[in-house]
């Protein structure tokens, strides 16, 4: 069980570790962001922006993007569209400056995934009804709820915790550090696949999804990704 730091076994001799408490989870996320050389993916229902531990996480993102020793680092956030829109003013106040920084904007990806049950461009009476609903009510139709982090496509944290203060301070949840190559590869690919079908917040503008995949397309895409990830050699630690 991880007590002091979550990423102290990056040589991969352990395939799974269990994080002990919310404070260690928060510290492990920040450590992963600060140590990553190529990529960070953070997936959750939402990200908090106003409280102390939330600000520390966002500060780690900002400082990592500005770190000249890691010029190729890319950071992606995959969040639920409706939940983020509910507190969009606070979200935009924090992330708009980051996305508008010329040298950083192409390396910070903010994907807001909207479940097909929420989308307005479905035609007919359903489209009219969905268009009339406020974000809080649209959440009743379903939300994106996958919570994990991936660092350099080598290590993942699979959890039930959101990126918010209560989950960083007092609310105990599940936190597993995973180094199974196929699992890490799947989580990374899963986030990128859904990210390509998400609203994109970039340069202070919220853009519509480019693909607008159907339920069948999403299911087939994820099944294909899972199949591809499970092919190959026996499951082993990353980097080995």
- Does position 238 have pLDDT exceeding 50, yes or no? no
What does the radius of gyration of the chain's CA atoms come to, in whole angstroms? 18
Please choose, from the candidates 110, 108, 129, the residue with its C-alpha nearest in 3D space to the C-alpha of residue 118. 129
> Helix/strand/coil (H, E, C) string of the chain?
CECCCCCCCCCCCCCEEEECCHHHHHHHHHHHHHHCCCEEEEECCCECCCCHHHHHHHHHHHHHHHCCCCCCCEEEEEEEHHHHHHCHHHHHHHHHHHHHCHHHHCCEEEEEECCCCCCCCCCHHHHHHHHHCCHHHHHHHCCCCCCEEEECCCEEEEECCCECHHHHHCCCCCEEEECEHHHHHHHHHHHHHHHCCCEEEECCEEECCCCCCCHHHHHHHHHHHHHHHHCCCCCCECCC
Model pLDDT, residue 230: 84
- Tell me whether residue 41 is in a domain: yes
Residue 195 lies inside a defined structural domain of this protein: yes
Q: Are 42 and 78 in contact (CB under 8 A)?
A: yes
Report how far residue 105's alpha carbon sits from residue 168's, in angstroms, rounded to the nearest whole number.
27
Q: Is residue 204 part of a domain?
A: yes
Tally of domains in the chain: 1
Would you name the residues annotated as active-site residues? 145, 147, 152
158-204: per-residue pLDDT in tens? Answer: 999 999 999 999 999 999 999 999 999 999 999 999 999 999 998 88
Residue 151 lies in a domain: yes
Query: 8 is written with which tokens?
Result: 């102290």
pLDDT in tens, 68-103: 999 999 999 999 998 998 888 899 998 888 876 645
What CATH number has the domain bearing residue 104?
3.30.870.10
What pLDDT is recorded for position 222?
93
What's the pLDDT at 73? 94
Asked whether the beta carbons of 199 and 182 are under 8 A apart, the reply is no
pLDDT band at 129 (very low <50, low <70, confident <90, very high): low
Residue 83 lies in a domain: yes
pLDDT at 34 over 80: yes
**Residue 5 belongs to a domain:** no
Confidence of residue 143 (pLDDT cuts 50, 70, 90): confident
pLDDT of residue 85: 87
Residue 239 lies in a domain: no
- Mean pLDDT on 93-122: 75
Q: Is residue 22 part of a domain?
A: yes
Q: For residue 166, what are its two tokens?
A: 């209560």
Domain assignment of residue 72, given as a range: 16-230
- Tell me the average pLDDT across 133-146: 73
* Beta-strand relationship, 155-159 and 175-178: antiparallel
């Amino acid at each position: 069980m991880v007590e002091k730091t979550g990423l102290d076994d990056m040589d991969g001799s352990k395939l799974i570790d269990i994080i002990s408490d919310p404070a260690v989870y928060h510290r492990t996320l920040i450590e992963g962001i600060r140590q990553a050389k190529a990529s960070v993916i953070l997936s959750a229902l939402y990200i908090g922006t106003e409280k102390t531990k939330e600000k520390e996480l966002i500060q780690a993102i900002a400082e990592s993007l500005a770190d000249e020793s890691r010029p190729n680092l890319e950071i992606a956030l995959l969040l639920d569209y409706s939940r983020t829109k509910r507190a969009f003013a606070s979200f935009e106040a924090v992330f708009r400056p980051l996305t508008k920084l010329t040298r950083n904007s192409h390396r910070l990806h903010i994907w807001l995934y909207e479940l097909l049950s929420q989308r307005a461009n479905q035609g007919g009476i359903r489209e009219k009804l969905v268009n009339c609903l406020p974000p809080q009510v649209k959440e009743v139709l379903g939300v994106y709820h996958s919570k994990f982090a991936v660092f350099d496509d080598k290590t993942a944290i699979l959890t039930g915790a959101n990126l918010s203060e209560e989950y960083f301070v007092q609310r105990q949840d599940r936190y597993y550090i995973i180094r199974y190559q196929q699992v890490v590869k799947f989580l990374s690919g899963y986030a990128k696949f859904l990210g390509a079908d998400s609203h994109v917040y970039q340069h202070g503008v919220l853009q519509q999804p480019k693909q607008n995949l159907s339920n069948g397309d999403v299911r087939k895409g994820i099944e294909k990704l899972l199949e591809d990830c499970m092919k190959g050699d026996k499951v082993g630690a990353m980097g080995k």
